[in-house]
Amino acid sequence: MTDHNETHPGAVAEAIQSYAKRAISVQSDFSEKLIEANRHWLEKIQIESNEGWDLFRKFNSTSSVAEKITTLQDWMKGFTARSAEEATYAIETARSLGTIELNLFVRRPGDVTDTTQKAA
């Protein structure tokens, strides 16, 4: 009688190689998404810096209190809108990174059947 529980060295090596390829792919996707997010945030830092200097310039160039209040209100409206957009971006980026990371642990249907068939 043959024991069907025996695993063939070739099947084990293929399974390890398949997992390693998937891990490399996931790591690559994850790194690309992080690079994209870092670029996005660096760009936003530059934009906020420019907005801050613009506010400073406008605020100091006006002499009336009413104009200063209007300048601050306009800046706050823009800041609030940008903050909402950035919160949405942060949530979407976190969701995307989580999905990419979960791909490492997902078994593809072909992986299980191929390895099982080759071992038998």
DSSP 87-107: HHHHHHHHHHHHHHHHTTTPP
Closest CA to 72 of 51, 44, 43: 51
Triad 16, 21, 25: Cα angle to 5° = 145
Q: What is the mean predicted confidence (pLDDT) over 42-46?
A: 96
Confidence (pLDDT) at 80: 95
Q: Across the chain, what does the average pLDDT equal?
A: 85
In this structure, the chain runs to a length of: 120
Question: Which pTM does this prediction carry?
Answer: 0.70
Those residues with Cβ within 8 angstroms of residue 62's Cβ, 6 or more apart along the chain or in another chain? 68, 71
pLDDT in tens, 76-95: 999 999 999 999 999 999 99
Buried b / exposed e across 75-85, counting CB within 10 Å, b at 16+? beeeeeeeeee
Predicted pLDDT at 1: 45
| pLDDT tens figures, 11-29 | 888 888 888 898 899 999 9
57 pLDDT above the threshold of 60: yes
